[in-house]
Amino acid sequence: MSKVCSINFELNKNWTTGSQMVVSKNATQGWTQFWKGERTSFDEVMKLATTYFAGQIVKQFSLTSSRTIFDYGCGPGFLADHLAQYGISVVGADINEYFIDECRKNHPQSLFIHISTDVFETRSELDRVLAGRQFDFVVLLSIAQYFKDTNEFERVINLLASYCCPGGRIIIADVIDDNTSTYRDALGLFNQCVRNGKLIAFFKFMLFVTSSSYARVHKHAELLKIRESFIQEMCLRNSLRYEKVDGLTIHPSRTNYVLSKRS
């Protein structure tokens, strides 16, 4: 899975109560295949969105070169690109082999890991490559919506918590839930594109998400919505605590969570 400034154009919403979210039976295959094959369709807008996020976490968490970052779902490495300006080295992981190759070319001194959507295979690969390494921050930027269901999401969070050092935190940014507004998020993206001279990129992006392979997959594979009630339950089950943090991304109606281990 790779981070993207996604817009939610869902028309049919099927919900259950509590922590379980209903998603299309084609969701896993659809989004997995899409992200494994993606190349440059989202580059300009994705880079803008990721750069904004990077600036926010540097400011809100007082990041310095001594901090260690694990970017889970790193895409083509835009977070690593921006944080390199602060001397912060990023370890990344993604299911897209092309993205990982690009990251390795652009940041040969850093570690980038090609992973699977299978949590058990991913755990084995990360354990092998990281060999006990832990991080101050584990980042999941705009990828929560592409998981098959909340069970899979929880397994990944549980896995990633094991790579947090004492006092480490997991930043889950751009989470879609009941309060997400397509209009507000599109407006937030539009405003950022205007401020940065990327208006053409905005319209290209909107055209892509409404009439391309992304749109075709989206017809059969809904984006996963994760309620705060589920985050609360998940944290209780896994001895984690959470807090909500505003303003981390350009999407004003999405939710950002920061998780940490309970003492």
The domain spanning residue 132 has which CATH number?
3.40.50.150
Instruction: Give Cα 201 distance to the centre of its chain.
Output: 21
Q: Say what the pTM is.
A: 0.85
Residue 225 CB: number of other CB atoms within 10 A?
Answer: 22
7 occurs within a structural domain: no
Task: Please list the pLDDT of the chain residue by residue as tens digits (263 residues).
Answer: 545 555 554 433 333 334 333 333 444 456 565 555 555 556 788 899 999 999 999 999 999 999 999 999 999 999 999 999 999 999 999 999 999 999 999 999 999 999 998 999 999 999 999 999 999 999 999 999 999 999 999 999 999 999 999 999 999 999 999 999 989 998 999 999 999 998 988 888 888 778 767 767 666 678 899 999 999 999 999 999 999 999 999 999 999 999 999 97
9 occurs within a structural domain: no
202 occurs within a structural domain: yes
220 occurs within a structural domain: yes
211 occurs within a structural domain: yes
Contact 125, 115 (CB under 8 A): yes
Domain residue limits at 60: 27-261
Q: Considering its fold, how many domains does the chain have in total?
A: 1
